[in-house]
Amino acid sequence: MQSLHKLHFIDIKLGKSGQFSHVLICNPHWIIRWHQEQKTPGLVEANFNALLGRALDIGANDMLDTVAIPAVGVPPTPAQATLPTACVTVQNPKISARGRDLTYGPYAKVG
């Protein structure tokens, strides 16, 4: 399991059951393609080409997708939310907080 984690095939998280409580299995085609692009030692070019050819024969086009694999142990950066610099609330004195018209009827303010 540790080897699969180091090679990016799985991501593991601790939990109540121990070190391997939660395991995320990544698409092996994407991972093998990434290893081929990174020239990972031990990946035989002929084996990769055979896998690529067979994947294309059966219509597995995920071997052609571009996928970025983050480094192990590096948390993703959170998306930066665009927050408004100021919020202005304009109240109409003739409309209540519930949207009722206060100019006439049973909700009209007297005086």
DSSP 92: -
Cα separation, 35 vs 8, in Å, equals 9
Q: How does the average pLDDT of the chain come out, rounded?
A: 74
Distance CA 1, CA 23 (A): 10
The whole-number pLDDT of residue 80 equals 54
In a domain, 104, yes or no: no
Residue 46 has pLDDT above 90, yes or no: yes
Q: Is 106 a domain residue?
A: no
Q: Report how many domains make up the chain.
A: 1
What is the domain range of residue 45?
2-79
- What's the pLDDT tens digit per position in 86-107? 444 444 455 555 555 555 555 5
